[in-house]
């Protein structure tokens, strides 16, 4: 199966830098509060003539230059965004116009939130498979400052503006993709067109719970589809929502194989620095053994660990009038 190879990338950022200290003069927050919870020190906001489309065009121009790709060899230009300049024309059409790309080019935008770039990559692959032209241009661009509520300190510290672009082509490389959705607007939503100015609403805890459950599951699926192991992957590049989510996911990584055989031994602990006693799993195993349960552990380093406990079915109670033996 042909996969996708990224030939080159480009990026574009607005000129205006907004630090945490600058935000603290606008909303009740501080550099220490933001940095400790998100890892963010600064973000960029569009100003003047800068928009999602102008950033997208600058990023795309750089990607094309680095790839050395002839625009006439492009079969598609796809932009993932939730903040287009207009309802129509699309950001991709504006990029086409700004860069002078051929008219015989599929140009459209795709709205899938944080996973938009992945959806756009998969869409580009589908178009490349049915087109003789070898390249596609995939862009992610946002002007989130335009829809940020600067009275909500829980969301306004997270979002900024910017764009990234990639020139991609088909190649015989390992490739797997898993797409999904959860149609619940409660954790994160933006008002649609209407008289009110749209802003981002987010339940941070709900987003956190979803991210730390979904990402490891998706990674496991991708590894299974591509017949690879976690230790064979050089880089894991997740959506960088904030530091806490990434650290929590990192802590859910699997257990090295050489340690699994020692897990149920008394006083053995992988938490020496945090004062682990090494007795928790030992006691649990004794309880399982008394119940004639079977415990199995499967673990893949850098991915996660699954512990399965299988209990035997209880012996059926004797019918009324029957004698009980061996109880």
Q: What is the pLDDT of residues 243-258, one digit of tens each?
A: 788 777 776 666 566 6
Who wins on pLDDT, 217 or 321? 217
> Per-residue pLDDT for 319 more than 60?
no
- Per-residue model confidence (pLDDT) at position 316: 59
- Two structure tokens written together for 317: 């109670």
Summary mean pLDDT of the chain: 85
pTM for the whole structure = 0.75
CA distance 80 to 87: 14
301 pLDDT tier (thresholds 50, 70, 90): low
Hey, CA dihedral for 152, 114, 252, 205, is it positive or negative?
positive
> Per-residue pLDDT for 21 more than 70?
yes
Percent of the chain exceeding pLDDT 70 equals: 83
- Per-residue model confidence (pLDDT) at position 324: 45
- Per-residue model confidence (pLDDT) at position 68: 96
- Per-residue model confidence (pLDDT) at position 270: 57
In the predicted model, what is the mean pLDDT of residues 271-277? Answer: 52
- Per-residue model confidence (pLDDT) at position 92: 98
Q: 77-86: buried (b, 16+ CB within 10 Å) or exposed (e) per residue?
A: bbbbbbbbbe
Residue closest to 2 by CA, chosen among 137, 179, 176, 131: 176
| Domains located in the chain, CATH noted | 3-177 (3.40.47.10), 255-310 (3.30.565.10)
Tell me the three-class secondary structure of the chain, residue by residue. Answer: CCEEEEEEEEEECCCEEEEHHHHHCCCCCCHHHHHHHHCCCEEEECCCCCCHHHHHHHHHHHHHHHHCCCHHHEEEEEEECCCCCCCCCCHHHHHHHHHCCCCCCEEEEECCHHHHHHHHHHHHHHHHHCCCCCEEEEEEEEEHHHHCCCCCHHHHCCCCEEEEEEEEEEECCCCCCCCCCCCCCCCEEECCCCCCCCCEEECHHHHHHHHHHHHHHHHHHHHHHHCCCHHHCCCCCCCCCCHHHHHHHHHCCCCCHHHHCCCCCCCCCCCHHHCCCCCHHHHHHHHHHHCCCEEEEEEECCCEEEEEEECCCCCCCCCCCCCCCCC
- Cβ proximity of 141 and 59 under 8 Å: yes
Percent of the chain exceeding pLDDT 90 equals: 46
320 pLDDT tier (thresholds 50, 70, 90): low
Strands 16-19 and 42-45: antiparallel
- Per-residue model confidence (pLDDT) at position 257: 60
């Amino acid at each position: 199966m042909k996969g996708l190879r990224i030939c080159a990338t480009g990026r574009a950022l607005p000129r205006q830098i907004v630090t945490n200290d600058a935000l603290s003069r606008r909303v009740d927050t501080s550099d220490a509060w933001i940095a400790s919870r998100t890892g963010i020190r600064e973000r960029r906001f569009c100003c003047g003539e800068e928009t999602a489309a102008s950033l997208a065009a600058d990023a795309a121009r750089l990607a094309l230059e680095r790839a050395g790709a002839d625009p006439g060899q492009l079969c598609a230009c796809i932009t993932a965004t939730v903040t287009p300049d207009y309802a129509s024309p699309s950001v991709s059409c504006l990029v086409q116009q700004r860069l002078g790309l051929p008219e015989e080019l599929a140009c459209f935008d795709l709205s899938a939130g944080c996973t938009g770039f992945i959806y756009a990559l998969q869409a580009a692959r589908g178009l490349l498979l049915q087109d003789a032209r070898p390249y596609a241009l995939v862009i992610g661009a946002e002007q989130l400052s335009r829809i940020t509520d600067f009275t909500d300190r829980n969301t306004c510290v997270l979002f900024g503006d910017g764009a990234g672009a990639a020139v991609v082509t088909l190649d015989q490389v390992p490739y797997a993709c898993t797409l999904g959705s959860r149609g619940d607007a409660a954790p994160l939503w933006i008002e649609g067109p209407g008289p009110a100015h749209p802003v981002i609403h987010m339940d941070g805890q709900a987003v956190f719970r979803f991210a730390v459950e979904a990402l490891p599951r998706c990674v496991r699926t991708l590894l299974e589809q591509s017949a690879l192991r976690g230790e064979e992957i050089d880089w894991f590049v997740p959506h960088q929502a904030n530091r806490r989510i990434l650290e929590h996911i990192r802590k859910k990584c699997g257990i090295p194989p050489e340690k699994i055989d020692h897990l149920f031994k008394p006083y053995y602990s992988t938490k020496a620095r945090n004062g682990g006693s090494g007795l928790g799993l030992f006691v649990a195993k004794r309880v399982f053994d008394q119940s004639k349960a079977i415990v199995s552990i499967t673990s893949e380093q850098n991915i996660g660990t699954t512990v399965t406990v299988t209990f035997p079915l209880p012996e059926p109670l004797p019918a009324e009038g029957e004698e009980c033996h061996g109880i």
